[in-house]
Amino acid sequence: MTIKDQYLGELNHLLHVIPSEQRQELLLDYELHFQMAMENGQPEEQIAHELGDPRVIAKELLLGYRVHQAETKQSPVRVSRAVFSAVSLGFFNLIFMLGPYLALMGILFSLWVVVVVLWATPVLLLADWAINETFPLTAVLSVCALIAGLALLAGVGMTKLTKGLLSMTMKYLKWNTRVVRVVKEK
């Protein structure tokens, strides 16, 4: 097995999470790079060395893939995958990205729990009134309407906050990807 085959095989294996068609397009770029350099008389060993470690290249390509996926369909899961791909690129990202991201996601999750509790409260109040009849029905209905209104406002606000946070995260990931490419080129 040649150095080129080993290199491309390892890169293919490391990119297994990318769909086959897209992965083959990415690998074709590296195969063409090998082919052109070999036509210019460079040995495979030197070409592989100039390209760099396939593990680092795979991490960068995976980050680009994850960022593109999260960009096309923003969902917390896809954005989180992109964040964790960025974190895998180095210590800087581990410290300055993962900690704040996890903290923000924890706060966001907690606020969504508050929204769910607000939505559940009127149902629980009506159930309590049906069992105990402690307060007059008009008072219970008034409190339920007030809490349902708050729940509606909180739900709308949280939806906007979640979209905004995902959008900011995507902007940071794109910036981070550009920085990684610039640093790699130097």
**Distances in whole angstroms, Cα of residue 169 to Cα of each of 70, 102, 124, 131, 157:** 10, 12, 37, 47, 18
Distance CA 181, CA 125 (A): 56
Compare 132 and 98 and report the one with higher pLDDT: 132
Looking at residue 60, what is its pLDDT? 81
pLDDT of residue 148: 96
Q: Indicate if the pLDDT at residue 180 is higher than 60.
A: yes
Q: Report residue 18 as tokens.
A: 């990318």
Amino acid letter, residue 46: Q
Percentage of the chain beyond pLDDT 70 is: 90
